[in-house]
Structure 1
Amino acid sequence: MSTETEEQKYEKYYVPEQSPWPIIGAVGLFVLAFGAGHFIQQSSGKVGNDGSFGWLIFLFGLAIMIYMVWSWWRDTIRESMSGLYSEQMDRSFRQGMLWFITSEVMFFAAFFGGLFYARALVVPWLGGEGANAMTHAILWPDFIPQWPLTETPDGRTTQAMGPMGLPAINTAILLTSSWTLTIAHHALKDGNRATLLNYTVITAMLGIIFLGLQVWEYHHAYSEMGLTLGSGIYGSTFFMLTGFHGLHVTIGTIFLIVLSIRCSQGHFKPENHFAYEAGAWYWHFVDVVWLFLFIFVYIL
C-alpha cells in the first residue's frame, strides 16, 4: 500500500531514447560555418577567384540543419501525440521557451542600444558637442549633427525612410495578425477546430504579406532612395534592425505554417497544446519588437 502511495505522489517523467540529432546538428553547424567562412574568403579574393565552392558547402550545411530540425521535431511530435509526456515535461518546455524569448529580448536590446548610442552620443560628438569641438572644426566643419543622418561626415547623402506608406501598412498587418492569432488560440481552448484552422492560416498569410512588403520596401530603398547598408550609420542601423526582425518574422511565419498543417491534421487539444502556445508567444514577441522598431526607427 505504501508503494502505491509513493507512485501516486511522484508523477512519471519521460526520458527519451538516445537520439542522433544532437551530433547531426553539431556537424551541420560546423559545415554551415565552414562554408560561410570559405565563401566570404573567396568572395573577397583572398582564396581563389570564385565563392561558389564555399557557397555549395554552406548550402550543404543548411540542408543538414533543416533535415536535423525536421527529424527532431517529428520525433517530438510523435512522442507528444503518443501521450508520453507528463506535466513536468510540459513545464520544462514552457521554461525553455520563456528563456529562449528572454534571450531574443536581449538580442534586440543590444541592437536598440547600438541605435541609441549612435543617435544620442556618436552623432553629437561628431558635431562638436562637449570636448569634441576642435575635432569637429578640423575634420568636419560643415557636418550637421541630426537624425536621421542623411549626410555623413564624408559627404555621402541618402534619404530617410518615413513611417507612412509601407511601414505603416506593415504595422497594421502585424497588429491584425496578433488579433487573428489570439482568436485562433481562444478557439483552440474552446475546442472550435474550424475557427482555429481558419484564423491560424490567416495569421500565416499575414506574415507572408508582411515579408513581401518588406522586400518591396528594401527594393525601393536601394533603387530609388539610395538607402543602403553603406549609407553610413543610419543605413547600417536601419537594415540591421529591420533585417533581423524580418528574419524573425520569417521564422515565425514558418512556425505558423507548421501549426496550420498540424491543426488540419487534428493535432492539439484544449488541455494539451503547448506547441501552439509557443508559436503564439513567439509571434506576439515579434509584433512587440516591430512596434518599438516603428517608433524608434521610422517615426523618431
Structure 2
Amino acid sequence: MAHASSTHDPNVYFVPHSSKWPFFGSIALFVMMIGVASWLNEASWGKPVFFVGVALTLAVLFMWFGDVIRESVRGNYNRQVDVSFRMGMVWFIFSEVMFFAAFFGALFYARQFALPWLAGEGDGAATHSLLWQGFSSGWPNNGPAAVGGAFQTIPAWGLPLLNTLILLTSGSTVTAAHHALKAGHRKQLLLWLGITVLLGCVFLFFQAEEYIHAYRELNLTLGSGIYGSTFFMLTGFHGLHVTLGTIMLAIIWLRCLKGHFDRDNHFAFEAVAWYWHFVDVVWLALFLFVYVL
C-alpha cells in the first residue's frame, strides 16, 4: 500500500482479479467465533476450535496482505487507489470507535441506571423492597446476587498507570518514526519503530501479569458480576487490539527494512500509525472510566 506508480494514468483505477481470500476469511472467522462462544460456555471442544480459527484467520491475513503488498511493490496503485485505502481505513477506525462505544455504553448504563434502579432509586423502589432489600448500588459491584463472590479491584496507580505511560510513550515513538520516514532517515526510522514494537510487547506482558494477579489473588474474573464482565470485556478487547497493532507494526518494520516505503508513498505505515494512536486514545478512556473512577 505504499508505492503509487507515477507512470499510471491517474484516471485508471486498478481493480485486482477476483480473490478467494474473502471466502476463506469468512470461514476462518466463523470457526473462531464458534470456538470462543463454546469456550465461554465451557464446552470441552471450544478452546481448541478457537485456536484453530485464530490460526486460519492469521494464515488468510498473511496471504491476503501478501497479495496487496506485491501489487503495491509492482506499482499497480495510483493516487486514486491511495485515496480509497485512506477512506477505507477511516471507516474501519470509525467502526472500531463504535465497537468500544458499545462496551463503554454498557458500563455507563450499569453504573448510572441499572444498579441505582435495583437499589431502589426511581422506578425501582418496588423491585428493591420485594427482591433486593439491603442492596447498595456502590461501584464496583457484582450485582444484587453477588455473582462470582467477593473480589478486589486492581489499583489504578500500579500496573495500569505504568501501562498508560508505556502506551503514551509508544505513541510518541511511532510519531518520531513517521517523521524519520518523511525525512528519509532510515536508521532512525527502524530504531523508533522497533522501540514502538518493543513497547507494545511490554504493555501486553504487564497486562497478562495483571490478569494473572486478578484471577489468582483478587478473585476478579469474567464471572464477577457486572464489574468483572465490563472490566474484562473492555480491557480484554483492548489488549486484543494492542496485539494486532503490535503485529502490524512488526510487519511494517520488516517492510521498512526492505525499503518498501519512501517519503512520499507510505500509506501502509500511516494506516498502522493511525490504528496505534486509536489504541492509545481508547486506553486513556479505559484508564479513566474503568480504573480511576
* Same fold? TM cut 0.5: yes
Q: Which amino acid aligns with 2:252?
A: L
Count of aligned pairs between the two proteins? 285
Query: What percent identity do the matched residue pairs reach?
Result: 55
In terms of mean alpha carbon deviation, does 32-41 or 160-169 score higher?
Answer: 32-41
CA distance in 1, matches of 2:88, 2:236: 25
Which residue does the alignment assign to 2:152? Answer: 159
2:103 counterpart (105, 108, 111) = 111
Question: CA-to-partner distance for each residue in 1:31-50, whole Å, 9 max, x for gaps?
Answer: 44555566677x44xxxxx4
Instruction: Output aligned runs, 1:251-266, within 5 Å.
Output: 251-266=244-259
For 1:61 and 1:259, locate their aligned partners in 2 and report how far apart those are by CA, in whole Å: 24
Deviation at 1:26, TM superposition (A): 3.1
Determine whether 1:284 maps to 2:277: yes
Alignment CA distance shift 1:82-1:106 (3 Å): same
TM-superposed deviation, 1:68: 1.7
Q: Which has the higher contact order (CA 8 A, sep 6+)?
A: 2
2:279 partner letter: V
- Which of 244, 247, 256 in structure 1 is aligned with 2:240? 247
1:110-158, Cα deviation, whole Å (9 max, x unpaired): 1100000000001111111012223222322222211122x64224321
Residues of 2 paired with 1:252 and 1:179: CA distance?
A: 15
The equivalent of 1:13 in structure 2 is: 13
Structure 2: gaps (5+ residues): 1-7
AA partner of residue 270 (structure 2): E
1:173–1:36 Cα change, 3 Å: closer
Residues 61 and 215 of structure 1: CA distance in aligned 2, closer, same or farther (over 3 Å) = closer
Query: With structure 2 as the length reference, what TM-score do the two structures score?
Result: 0.90
Q: State which structure, 1 or 2, has the greater radius of gyration over its C-alpha atoms.
A: 1
Residues 99-138 of structure 1 aligned to structure 2 (within 5 Å) = 99-138=91-130
Q: Partners in 2 of 1:125 and 1:186 — Cα distance?
A: 52
- The question of 1:199 aligning with 2:192 is answered yes
| Cα RMSD (Å) | 2.1
**Change beyond 3 A, Cα 1:24–1:290:** same
Match of 1:173 in 2: 166
Q: Secondary structure at the match of 1:146?
A: coil
| Aligned equivalents of 1:38, 1:118: Cα separation in 2 | 26
Q: Distance in 2 between matches of 1:40 and 1:141?
A: 32
Distance 2:120 2:38 in 1: 42
Q: Does 2:178 match 1:185? A: yes
Contact 2:197-2:249 at 8 Å conserved across structures: yes
Tell me the residue number matched to 1:73: 65
Q: Could you list the runs of 5+ residues in structure 1 that have no partner in the other structure?
A: 1-7, 45-49
Aligned to 2:4: none
Judge which range, 132-141 or 216-225, deviates more: 132-141
2:206 maps to: 213
The whole-number CA distance in structure 1 between the counterparts of 2:213 and 2:47 is: 27
TM-score (norm 1): 0.88
**1:147 correspondence with 2:139:** yes
Q: 1:22 to 1:210 in 2, by over 3 A?
A: same
Number of the residue aligned with 2:23: 23
